[in-house]
Amino acid sequence: MSHASLTDLTDLAAGVWRIERSRLIGAGAKLLRDLDEAEDCAQDALLAALDTWPRDGIPANPAAWLMTATRNKALDRLRRRAMLRREHAALAADDVASLAHIEPDFVDRLDAARDQAAIGDELLRLIFIACHPALPREAQVALTLRLLGGLETAEIARAFLVPEATVAQRIVRAKKALHGQAFELPAPDERAARLGAVLAVIYLIFNEGHSAGSGAQLLRPALCDEALRLARQLQHLLPDEPEVHGLAALLEIQASRLPARLDTRGRPVLLPDQDRRRWDRLLIQRGLEALARAEALGELGPYALQAAVAACHARAARAEDTDWSAIVAGYDRLLALNPSPVVALNRAVAISFARGPAAAWPLLQALDAEPQLRRYPFLAGAQADVLERLGRSSEARQAYLRAAELTENEAQRGLLQERAARLAS
């Protein structure tokens, strides 16, 4: 134990608690099968630290102290549940229950390797709980950001531009839906089936931060940061899953462009016009390394294929150096694996640069028939760009205005209206 000022102790306890919060909740949830009670136990552990550490000093391993205190709080609650008396015998045999009579400052003697493995298990368990298939996608997103991102309800509401009451209701309903669930890691076959939802939620969080669907701002960097953090954690927890590395690669490379996506006046800058000197080379390097790990592990999935396309842009020092033929080939592979209209749209845009706008125009026209894209602003925007490059200015202007009408993001709308006005003049 070491001693410090009360302010330093408070700051240390609060800092460690913020870092370890999701793991503490995961440990409590495993015992209690109730996320609200698990959060209460984690907060009670923090209060116990603020009461104990000023008197006894800082433990050698503050994170382990909080973990043990959280488990003790959870076990105390189990003892108070009369309906669970029959389970005490089973709990007593469990390693976790054996910690019930251990003072928190004894955790220094615990086996470090076992603790690290347990911490990893708590976090992985919580990720799969938050993305339980019983929950709708918006509830999965809210619960993931609350439990793993550590964001408060008001912060999530601001990020997605929905009322705070709506987010609170989603989280409450999600916790009620999961009440009584066995908060264990799913079996390997079920985990593989649920991993898709986990990756999709992280991807959705990043996309909302990278190109906000509505509101005045184009970017919401806090969401990008949370998605990146979750993807990196998954890489450590599931090192043999190629799509985990594929998603991490995609997000790292996409995040590398964030500094160049807005001009000095806060207006969007399209990819061909970005100052590539402002791209974050460290994030690009991390992304390329993650992509290489995905490739080494086997056949590339949808996220890894998208990362491979993003890597073509990242490797080009100038926009005119972009290997558009390789990008088209990447979208060909992605379309064969995931035949969605959005992928077909991205492929058509790539063809417009690889083979010219005339080759892409029939493909973009055909996509008008896709119900999923009828009110998709990026289809109208892509059509406008190709029409402009074909010299069909009047039609291009109308397409830009149609795209502006469809988008709910004010920054994107302003850019589209500006391009339409330029053609009108």
Residue-by-residue pLDDT tens, the chain, 425 positions: 445 567 777 888 888 887 788 888 888 888 888 888 888 888 888 888 888 888 888 888 888 899 888 888 888 888 776 554 554 444 454 544 444 444 444 333 333 333 444 445 677 788 888 888 888 888 888 888 888 777 788 878 876 767 899 999 999 998 888 887 777 777 777 777 788 888 988 888 888 888 766 666 767 788 888 889 889 989 988 899 999 999 999 999 999 999 999 888 888 888 989 999 999 999 999 999 999 999 999 889 999 999 999 999 999 999 999 999 999 999 999 999 988 899 999 999 999 999 999 999 999 999 999 988 888 899 999 999 999 999 999 999 999 999 999 988 888 899 999 999 999 87
The helix (H) or strand (E) run that includes residue 214 is strand 214-215
Q: Would you say residue 193 lies in a domain?
A: no
Q: Would you say residue 294 lies in a domain?
A: no
Q: Would you say residue 20 lies in a domain?
A: yes
Q: Would you say residue 96 lies in a domain?
A: yes
Q: Would you say residue 45 lies in a domain?
A: yes
Q: Would you say residue 121 lies in a domain?
A: no
- Pick the closest to residue 305 from 353, 245, 350, 371 (CA basis): 245
Q: Would you say residue 204 lies in a domain?
A: no
What's the half-sphere exposure (Cβ side, CA atoms, 13 Å) at 335? Answer: 15
Query: Using an 8 Å Cβ cutoff, are 57 and 2 in contact?
Result: yes
What's the pLDDT at 109?
A: 34
Q: Residue-wise over 377-405: b if at least 16 C-beta within 10 A, else e? A: bbbbbbbbbbbbbbebeeebbbbbbbbbe
- Locate the DSSP E strands across 26-79: none
Domain count of the fold of the chain: 1
What's the pLDDT at 4?
A: 57
309 in helix, strand or coil? helix
Q: Would you say residue 73 lies in a domain?
A: yes
What's the pLDDT at 34?
A: 82
What count of other Cβ atoms lies within 10 Å of the Cβ of residue 147?
24
What's the pLDDT at 161?
A: 64
* Domain region containing 90: 6-115
- Answer yes or no: pTM beyond 0.85: no
